Structure formats: C-alpha cells, structure tokens
A = this chain, B = another copy of it.
Amino acid sequence: MPELHPTFPQGDARNAIVEAALAVFAAKGFHGAGTRQIAQAAGVSQPLLNHHFGGKEALWRVIGEQITADFMAFMAGAVDLALPPGDGVTAMLRAYLAFWKARPLSFRFNLWRRLDGLQDERASRSEEMTRPVVAFMQRAQDAGFIRNDLPPGLAAIMGGALVQFWLDSQLEIRAALAVTGDEGLADEDAIGHIVRLLRAPS
C-alpha cells in the first residue's frame, strides 16, 4: 500500500520509483541515499530514474511536494468549522497525529527535509500550512475554550509541536516515563494531555 497519493494514474514504474525513493530517503536522508539503491528497491534500472525525473534532486523535490499536498488535502478535510471549539481542537490534533502516524516514511522524510531545506522554502510552506489552524485556534480561544494568556498563533503551533514531539520521540518519552515507573501512554491519552495543557482554566 503506497504511502503517497499516486502521481500518475497508470505510471507504473514511475510510482514504484517514488515509493522506493521515499523509503530510502526516509531512512538515510538526501545525501545518504544512492540512486542505485533507490532503483534497485523499485525494481528498475538506475538510468530510468533520471529519465522520469531528471535527477536525484528533482526526485527529492517531487516527493516533498507530494507529501505537502497530501497533508494539506487531508487536513482540509479534517478541520470542521461546524464543530464546537472544544471538539474541533481535539479533532484537529487527532487528525494531525493520525495522518503522520499512518505515514511513518513521509514523517521521517519531512524531518530530513527540515534540516536540508532552504529557509525561504520552509517559511512559505509553514505559512500556508498553519494559517487555517491558527484561525481555528483563535475561534476556540474567543469561545473561552483555549486559554487566552498566550497568542493564538502560539497556542496553535505549540499544539502541533507537542503532537510532533509525541510522534518523533516515543523513545525519549518512554524513557522519561520509566523513571517514575509509569508505563507508556496511548495516542488518545497524549491528545488528552495536550488539549488539557492548552485549555482555559475552569
């Protein structure tokens, strides 16, 4: 089952290359991944990769854009403005977590991308990704659900950061919990804790 939405309906080899490249890039990053390894994982010859994408860097960029597009589409469907603020915030964080949890390779690819990527690309991307979320958070804040002692943009992005952290650092989290003998937490518990941090004190 492919992690990425197919780029071309019938482009068999092409999609195979994209999926294989995603896996290799996610594991070793841009510089660590070799075109031959990608080609082998895709079951095609190495020149074919250049034939379809024009080069390793272009392939990298195609994958990155595909992930962003998938994410935007998913979130657009998950953010429901009709929901009451409380449920809405929870649903949003839950969707965010579910999306990446279902796409571990894309998640790791994005981690690499953040280190490699150029600054301006990063800024514009985050701008477009956070805008709707911030607006939603402000609404929840106005409704008295989210604490109002911090800017809505910060509340929104901190929620995202904590979910990101939850996804990224299971190892560290488990270690920290073990210090006091606590056991691991389920995803739903994590969402609950994060929402509670952001809630207005009742």
In the complex, whether A10 has a CB less than 8 A from a CB of chain B is no
In the complex, whether A4 has a CB less than 8 A from a CB of chain B is no
Q: Are A180 and B138 in contact (CB under 8 A)?
A: yes
Q: Report A125-160 CB contacts with B as 1/0, cut-off 8 Å.
A: 011001100110010000000000111111011100
Determine how close the nearest CB of chain B comes to the CB of A143; give it in whole angstroms.
16
User: Interface residues of A, CB < 8 Å — how many?
Assistant: 50
Q: Are A28 and B31 in contact (CB under 8 A)?
A: yes
Q: Are A182 and B153 in contact (CB under 8 A)?
A: yes
Bound-state Cα–Cα, A136 to B19, Å: 45
Determine how close the nearest CB of chain B comes to the CB of A71; give it in whole angstroms.
14
B contact residues around A198 at 8 Å (CB): 197
Q: Are A173 and B152 in contact (CB under 8 A)?
A: no
| Interface SS, A side | helix
Bound-state Cα–Cα, A119 to B30, Å: 20
Q: Are B31 and A130 in contact (CB under 8 A)?
A: no
Q: Are A179 and B29 in contact (CB under 8 A)?
A: no
B contact residues around A36 at 8 Å (CB): none
> Beyond A161-B162, A171-B119, A182-B151, is A134–B176 a contact (Cβ under 8 Å)?
yes
Residue A161 contacts which of B135, B161, B201 (CB distance < 8 angstroms)? Answer: B161
In the complex, whether A115 has a CB less than 8 A from a CB of chain B is yes
Determine how close the nearest CB of chain B comes to the CB of A159; give it in whole angstroms.
11
Q: Report A100-115 CB contacts with B as 1/0, cut-off 8 Å.
A: 0000000010011001
In the complex, whether A177 has a CB less than 8 A from a CB of chain B is yes
